[in-house]
Amino acid sequence: MPSAITIIRDEHRALAAVLRGLQYLVEQIRNGQQSPDFPLLKSMLAYIEAFPDKLHHPKEDQYIYPVLRQR
């Protein structure tokens, strides 16, 4: 079973990947190389908006911050 820090680190990487993908997609649209895929854009933005607050930050609050406070 992965440790809490491994899961949190993987979630940071996943969020960063979505952000990079969004930046790439916007650049492609801006340059006229791709048409907007609105369902994809909506899904990416929903993930960026919802995932950290609902699923990720509670893990940091529970597993990371208490340990840091003890230091």
- The predicted-structure confidence for 39-63, as pLDDT tens digits, reads as follows 999 999 999 999 988 888 988 888 8
Supply the pLDDT for residue 39. Answer: 98
For residues 22, 28, 29, 30, the Cα torsion angle rounded to the nearest 10 degrees is 100
Supply the pLDDT for residue 48. Answer: 95
Phi, psi of 19 (to 5 degrees): -65, -45
Instruction: Please list, in sequence order, all residues whose beta carbon lies within 8 angstroms of the beta carbon of residue 19, skipping any fewer than 6 positions away.
Output: 48
* pTM, full prediction: 0.80
Phi, psi of 70 (to 5 degrees): -75, -20
Query: What average pLDDT does this structure show over 28-45?
Result: 98
Percent of the chain with pLDDT over 70: 100
